Structure formats: C-alpha cells, structure tokens
C-alpha cells in the first residue's frame, strides 16, 4: 500500500502526524517494510506487512 492508501484506511489527513505516530514506529518495530528501501522518499514507495516466521 502507498502512504496515501494507509492514511485513507486510518482516516488520517496530516502526513507528518501519520509518519511520526504510525509509519516510523511500525517500520522500527518490523511490522511493515518498504518495497524500495534504497529510496525512502520515492513517489513509488509502498509498504507491505511482514509475516511472522513459524
């Protein structure tokens, strides 16, 4: 999902608040990962859920 899709799913409008409160903590915790980790500010950046290992 793109950042815009994630924000819409959570009904959030402020990009900075979303990044600081939801996106960065989820990335740090390993709950989600970037599809383009080499280009974090890319307009094509998407995020995907990391599945737990058995």
pLDDT tens figures, 3-42: 999 999 999 999 999 999 999 999 999 999 999 999 999 9
Residue 42: what pLDDT?
A: 94
**Positions of E strands within 1-54:** 32-34, 47-49
**So where are the chain's domains?**
3-49
Residue 28: what pLDDT?
A: 96
């Amino acid at each position: 999902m793109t950042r815009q899709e994630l924000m819409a799913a959570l009904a959030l409008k402020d990009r900075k608040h979303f990044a600081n409160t939801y996106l960065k903590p989820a990335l740090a915790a390993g709950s989600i990962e970037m599809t383009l980790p080499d280009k974090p500010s890319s307009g094509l950046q998407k995020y995907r859920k990391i599945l737990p290992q058995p």
